[in-house]
Structure 1
Amino acid sequence: MKLEALAVYEQPLKWFALGLGVCSTVCVVQGWQLAAMLFSLPFCLIWMYSGWLRTEPQLKYINMLFSVLYVYGIGRYFWLQA
């Protein structure tokens, strides 16, 4: 399945990303680092997908960078907890 085939879901995904962003912000305010990263990672993945649909290289690459940082942060969190 090509990315363009999922384009019909772009708008609902963006609304879902908005919810993830709000949840992530609440987690940051509350000081829940792991939860903030867990909400932010799918947020970035949705916006990265949207960048691929619209050929917006800046949006795409910024979210790729943040996704890598969130994966690193989540892995580091669990590594240090072990």
Structure 2
Amino acid sequence: MTLLKLAAYEQPLKWAALLLGLFSTVSIVQDWQLAAMMFGLPFCLIWVFCGWLRTEPQLKHINVIFSALYVYGIFRYFFINA
């Protein structure tokens, strides 16, 4: 499946990203670290996809960096709390 075939799903993915962003923000306010990272990672991955789809290099690269930080944070959370 190519990116052009997935373009039909761009708008629903952006709505899903909005919901994930809201859940992540509530998690941050409630001091639920793991939940914030778990909601934040798919949020960033959706925007990485949309950045590649629309060739928005700044958006793509920023979200790749944030995705890596979320993965690091999730692994660190489980390693320290295990």
What interval of TM-score do these two structures reach, taking the shorter chain for normalisation? over 0.9
Alignment of 1:69 with 2:59, yes or no, is no
- CA deviation after TM superposition for structure 1 residue 4, in Å: 1.7
CA displacement, residues 34-72 of structure 1 (integer Å, 9 cap, x when unaligned): 000000000000001000011000000000000000000
CA distance in 1 between partners of 2:7 and 2:60 (Å): 16
Aligned-pair identity in percent equals 71
CA RMSD of the aligned region, Å? 0.5
- State TM-score, norm by structure 1: 0.98
Structure 1 partner of 2:21: 21
Count of aligned residue pairs for this structure pair:
82
Q: 1:58 is aligned with what amino acid?
A: Q
TM-score with structure 2 length normalisation?
0.98
- Residue 52 (structure 1) aligned with residue 52 (structure 2): yes
Aligned residue identity for 1:59: L
Give secondary structure in 2 for the equivalent of 1:64: helix
Task: Provide the C-alpha distance between the structure 2 equivalents of 1:3 and 1:80, rounded to a whole number of angstroms.
Answer: 38
Unpaired runs of 5+ residues, structure 1, are none
